[in-house]
Amino acid sequence: MAIILKMKDLRKDSAVMLEVGDEAAGQRVDNFLLKIAKGVPKSHVYRILRSGEVRVNKGRIGADYRLQLGDVVRVPPIRVAERIEDAPVPGREFDIAFEDDAIIVVDKPAGVAVHGGSGVSFGVIEQLRRARPLAKFLELAHRLDRETSGLLIIAKKRAALVKLHDMFRDGGINKRYLALVKGRWLNPTQHVKLPLYKYLNADGERRVCVRDDGKSAHSIVRLVSRWQNFSLVEVELKTGRTHQIRVHLAHLGFPLAGDDKYGDFTLNRELQKTGLKRMFLHSAKLALPHPITGEALALESPLPPELASFIDKLKQHEKEF
**Which domains, from first to last, does the chain contain?**
7-75 (3.10.290.10), 96-317 (3.30.2350.10)
User: pLDDT at position 119, please?
Assistant: 63
User: pLDDT at position 3, please?
Assistant: 42
User: pLDDT at position 120, please?
Assistant: 72
Contact status, residue 116 vs residue 106, Cβ threshold 8 Å: no
Catalytic residue among 30, 107, 145, 259: 145
Q: Which helix (H) or strand (E) holds 43?
A: helix 42-50
Contact status, residue 62 vs residue 100, Cβ threshold 8 Å: no
User: pLDDT at position 44, please?
Assistant: 83
Contacts of 269-275 with CB under 8 Å at 24 or more apart are: 274/310, 274/313, 275/306, 275/309, 275/310, 275/313
Q: Rounded distance, CA 304 to CA 321, Å?
A: 24
User: pLDDT at position 34, please?
Assistant: 82
Q: Which helix (H) or strand (E) holds 245?
A: helix 244-251
pTM, rounded to two decimals: 0.77
pLDDT in tens, the chain (321 residues): 344 444 444 555 678 888 887 778 888 888 888 887 777 778 888 888 888 889 999 999 988 899 988 899 998 887 654 444 456 888 899 999 999 999 999 999 999 999 886 667 789 999 999 999 999 899 999 999 999 999 999 999 999 999 999 999 999 999 999 999 999 999 999 999 999 999 988 777 889 999 999 999 999 999 999 999 999 999 999 999 999 999 999 999 999 999 999 999 999 999 999 889 999 999 999 999 999 999 999 999 999 999 999 999 999 988 888
Q: Rounded distance, CA 243 to CA 152, Å?
A: 16
Identify whether 145 is a catalytic site residue: yes
